[in-house]
Amino acid sequence: MMTANEYIQSLRALGSRRVYAFGKKVDNIVDHPLIRPSINSVAMTYKLAEMPEYADLMTATSNLSGKKINRFSHLHQSQEDLVNKIKMQRLLGAMTGTCFQRCVGMDALNAMWSATYECDQKHGTTYHERFKKFLAIWQEKDWTVDGAMTDPKGDRAAGPGGQVDPDVFVHIVERNDKGIVVRGAKIHQTGVLNSHEILVMPTQAMRPEEKDFAVAFSVPANDPSLLFIYGRQASDSRKLEESKIDTGNITYGGQEAVVVFENTFIPWDRVYMCGEVDFSGMLVERFAGYHRQSYGGCKVGNGDVLIGAAQSIAEYNGAAKASHVKDKIIEMIHLNETLYCCGIACSSQGHKTASGNYLIDMMLANVCKQNVTRFPYEIARLAQDIAGGLLVTMPSASDFANEEAGAWCRKLFTAAPGVPVENRQKMFRLIENMTIGAAAVGYLTESMHGAGSPQAQRIVIARNANMEAKKKMARRLCGIEADGLL
């Protein structure tokens, strides 16, 4: 396994890539002030794995090599593995206060493992063996891998095959004896600049005539044909300021980017789906299920931080003993722990797939994510309620440092006795960051749209509801249908 420092050096070793942020080419992403906080977040997944006290959560034994590996490259081998995944994600969410970006690759590898196995069983393909070899290297090198699923999609009323410009979906433009060539783009790519490899999956179930869009493959993140465009976040330019107080979360951050495939060549040994439209939907659904499970861990860890910040600012304001403040804190805890319950539940009810790894309970995973689209927003609302209006009107750190204005800032914004005004200043900025600013992308917007928007979960919930059985129960109890039990 890599150490955190080795991980950061491994990103340097990838060399220069075609990366743009704020309209300018970025030659050194590792030290760029806009990007480095997100790298620090990923580095925490390596740092905790170095520490003996977290070994049970952060590491596992590979079923491929028998070696100790980072859990983020592990194939789930039991219900316990699924539960430990959630516990690990809660820990990391609390340690970073933001998205730590490595979950998408872990969820993609587990979905790809079972989907390629079952595709081979039906079609006689060799995708599973190819993916197995790729995964063995992934585990050995302890890569961070970006799981790439979401396409721009263009006109939502037209499918992939009905677009004016086919490049709004990743698609195959050439097949030859050496491999395939692909074009298109993936958007909302969490941590892609912090990754060593990119694992691409189709974005939806495909129709028979859309075989060119039913494609899955892996590609090194430093492939010269790739173009990366960094996504903006609220208040992100604060990371470029000399004082870091106004950023809120001083050390850590999240990352989203666009990755463009400009006639990217993929050798056959890195292709894991090539036109099998009947398995495109399965792969999407399994990945989404795993990723919806993930939100019962990572967002709960973020919630732990926000609850702690709300309690702290209440104390700094001198309002912590008010009964309504106490009740709001209790409600925040209740909502956060409910999300954790959902993550644990869908994990503990997981089952073994034909390929040997474990899949979560699909119904409960989607219920988990449906709750995640709602509860963090209420937790954030309560945090803002407790904090008060100074959350969005407090002068900047530069004003506090100013010779003339600073004296008044320190005088006017001191509240509870014994609490340094700087502590209050920092706590306000952390709550602002998590509920309005850059970290709100990872805590709130991801909660809504990550792993599919709310309606996607509702479709799966309806599909798994077994309504006929429920109707039969009702008919039996009201005497419409007898079952001979009494």
Structural domain contains residue 426: yes
Please state the length of the chain.
486
Q: Are the CB atoms for 81 and 153 separated by under 8 Å?
A: no
Structural domain contains residue 81: no
pTM: 0.96
Least Cα distance to 81 among 101, 109, 118, 121 occurs for 109
Least Cα distance to 314 among 332, 329, 330 occurs for 329
What are the start-end ranges of the H helices in 351-420?
A: 362-372, 375-387, 390-393, 397-401, 405-412
Structural domain contains residue 183: no
Which parts of 108-166 are beta strand (E)?
145-148
The sign of the CA dihedral 13, 14, 20, 22 is negative
Read off the CATH number of the domain in which 437 is found.
1.20.140.10
Residue 422 in tokens: 């700087």
pLDDT at 485: 73
Q: Domain count of the chain?
A: 1
Q: What residue has token string 């850590």?
A: 252
Task: Give the residue numbers marked as catalytic.
Answer: 99, 103, 190, 256, 291, 295, 298, 446
Phi, then psi, of 184 in degrees rounded to 5: 125, -160
Helix/strand/coil for 6: helix
Residue 291 in tokens: 């990723």
pLDDT at 127: 98
Structural domain contains residue 428: yes
pLDDT at 483: 76
Least Cα distance to 6 among 46, 51, 49 occurs for 46
Counting beta carbons within 10 angstroms of the beta carbon of residue 96, is it exposed (0 to 12), middle (13 to 18) or buried (19 or more)?
buried
Least Cα distance to 123 among 280, 354, 352, 279 occurs for 279
Structural domain contains residue 205: no
Rg (CA), the chain: 24
Calculate the CA 17 to chain-centre distance. Answer: 23
Within 8 A by CB and 6+ apart from 221, the residues are: 14, 17, 146, 192, 193, 195, 196, 197, 198
Within 8 A by CB and 6+ apart from 465, the residues are: 363
Structural domain contains residue 394: yes
Range of the domain at 368: 282-471
Per-residue pLDDT of the chain (486 residues; tens, 9 = 90+): 999 999 999 999 999 999 999 999 999 999 999 999 999 999 999 999 999 999 999 999 999 999 999 999 999 999 999 999 999 999 999 999 999 999 999 999 999 999 999 999 999 999 999 999 999 999 999 999 999 999 999 999 999 999 999 999 999 999 999 999 999 999 999 999 999 999 999 999 999 999 999 999 999 999 999 999 999 999 999 999 999 999 999 999 999 999 999 999 999 999 999 999 999 999 999 999 999 999 999 999 999 999 999 999 999 999 999 999 999 999 999 999 999 999 999 999 999 999 999 999 999 999 999 999 999 999 999 999 999 999 999 999 999 999 999 999 999 999 999 999 999 999 999 999 999 999 999 999 999 999 999 999 999 999 999 999 999 999 999 999 887 776
Structural domain contains residue 238: no
pLDDT at 486: 65
Q: Are the CB atoms for 230 and 21 separated by under 8 Å?
A: yes
Using CA atoms, how far residue 154 sits from 150, 163, 166, 263, in Å, is 12, 7, 9, 19
Q: What does the DSSP 8-state code read for residue 444? A: I
pLDDT at 482: 82
Structural domain contains residue 2: no
Q: Are the CB atoms for 365 and 345 separated by under 8 Å?
A: no
Residue 110 in tokens: 């587990």
Residue 239 in tokens: 């990371």
